[in-house]
Amino acid sequence: MMLQNFLLNILLMMVWVALTGQLNYANFVFGYVLGFFILWMINRTNTNSKKEYFYRVPKILAFIFYFFYDLMKANWEVAKDVITPNYNMKPGIIKYEMDAKTDFEITMLSNMIAITPGTLVIDISKDKKYIYIHAMYLNDKEKFIKDMKERTERKLLEILR
């Protein structure tokens, strides 16, 4: 049902763009938001199975903004450390226990970690319960694990499950 709503939303977006005749990013975004609102209005009295799309899309957008913020913060921290004469790095390796179970969830989590500057995925255990992460700035191991669990992994799994 989620795929059906997504495709209907894309169709409504394309109809909006065709009606306005303007091929720009703002028009595509407005068409998508308008289509999302129209579909939400139509489906708001239907069963919960059809509402999943309307809960997941805002979570995806929130995750994108959260991850973009984290990415910018990590970039700033690494750039500042490279430019200044003294290094603030305290590198370390963490054995992180994952809640992610499927190969796709593990791959997405690994990609989120690897894309962020200052962190790197070293290995995944054979039983797929642990992931080994190298961090450039490991001042507090417990805080790093807590942030990874509560912020990145939990939000990612909310979207994927």
Q: For the chain, count helices (H), then strands (E).
A: 6, 3
> Which residue reads 């490991």 in tokens?
138
CA distance 56 to 45: 17
Instruction: Give the pLDDT confidence score for residue 97 in this predicted structure.
Output: 95
Tens of pLDDT along the chain (161 residues)? 677 888 999 999 999 999 999 999 999 999 999 999 998 888 877 665 556 788 888 899 999 999 999 999 999 988 988 898 888 889 999 999 999 999 999 999 999 999 999 999 999 999 999 999 999 999 899 999 999 999 899 999 998 88
pTM: 0.75
| 19-57 burial code (b ≥16 CB/10 A, e <16) | eeeeeeeeeeebbbeebbeebeeebeeeeeebbebbebb
